[in-house]
Structure 1
């Protein structure tokens, strides 16, 4: 209790931290900041039309696997019933209510959070934020940063990526064309270099990494590039 009281006393005595208001920041800086986050973010207006989407969201909308935008910018899903749920969730968010949806289509699925941008007591909102589920841990650029920080070899990084994607040792061995004993040796090396007690703790550390923009951004795939360049927003 004494320690807690000491910390609180220090907080009271500290000078307030001066920070810039969002309105004072240049719009291009804010947009770049959103592009560096490993979550798809879509801002829609009260009518459900896309006002802005960050890099990951633009890719998802361009592919149209689970979310898409019509010629007029109207947000929609791959299935009519789910579009109705999304529209209802957006209307609820305009009144300050949050909701979590699960979009599915074929083998694809994605949780989607619908977030109001004002508090319910502040009055009706004019915009709603749609937050897509985070990319797979193996697609997070922070994993590459983690690998460099711990001096992992390319093979060890590949094994770690596979573990984070939920693959077992035998599956990784088949994928890499090596014996299971080789993969187990690589896992031991991963544990030694990172100080993890086991595979579970190792994967948990990767899952806890900051959501840094994924390697998708640097992918030179012409299909992805054309899909992104042809997408328009309102």
Structure 2
């Protein structure tokens, strides 16, 4: 795949003596692509026909390490319960037959959705593989929200109110959490809207939800290499 891309970049012509340089560029391109995957605010897993995890990006490794709903055992994707594991295996089998599947799993207050997408076509010669996309991170976990607050020069209390709104808390809930009167929270929200140029709370949250996703840098306690076959989970 990378060689084909290099040929396209070179206008479809071979450059004599450029095989070594092309290989180096290909390796660098792959490294950059893996880093790009780590900055996507969806967990991403690539699984081969034997059920082995070929690659897990940053958020997927975080979710696997958490082990509350999904985990890795013997480099295979499993659920935290026999029922979840069975659902995952059935979804993967369907994906290898060319079907797309969506699973929604819940444990307590934790909910995780998994979308299984075949990456190969039955008539193509490449090795079959499946892309598993995990739920998008919570808006409150998007580092861009904190950056948005800094850009607007929000005070710490105003930023805290903004985070409360992002979590879906009511004005009464935010006031109770901060130990202040509801009128104080309403005043802070009014200032928030003015600084953001939003005529309503709905428009304010719309602006927040449309921010580019920025993945927090420190989600994994111990570093894990990109090669999923080499990492282990706590």
Q: Does TM-score exceed 0.5, indicating one fold?
A: yes
Aligned equivalent of 1:68 = 71
Q: Identify unmatched segments of 5+ residues in structure 1.
A: 1-18
The CA deviation string for residues 195-231 of structure 1, in whole angstroms up to 9 with x for no partner, is 11211221122112222213xx336xxxx515x6599
Partner of 1:191: 193
Structure 1 SS opposite 2:42 = coil
CA RMSD of aligned residues (A): 2.6
Q: Is the 8 A contact 2:55 2:226 kept in 1?
A: no
Q: Aligned pair in 2 of structure 1 residues 37, 231: CA closer, same or farther (>3 Å)?
A: closer
Greater share of helix: 1
CA contact (8 A) 2:175 2:182 kept: yes
Q: CA deviation at 1:125?
A: 5.7
Q: Cα distance, 1:160 vs. partner?
A: 0.9
Q: Distance in 2 between matches of 1:124 and 1:30?
A: 20
Q: CA deviation at 1:147?
A: 1.7
TM-score by length of 1: 0.79
The answer on whether the counterparts of 1:97 and 1:116 sit within 8 Å (CA) in structure 2 is yes
Taking the TM superposition and a 5 Å limit, the aligned residue runs for 1:56-205 are 56-70=59-73, 72-119=74-121, 122=124, 126-205=128-207
Q: In the aligned structure 2, how far is the partner of 1:120 from the partner of 1:52?
A: 22
Q: Is the 8 A contact 2:34 2:226 kept in 1?
A: no
TM-score by length of 2: 0.79
Deviation of 1:100 after TM superposition, in Å, equals 0.9
Whole-angstrom CA distance in 2 between matches of 1:78 and 1:218: 24
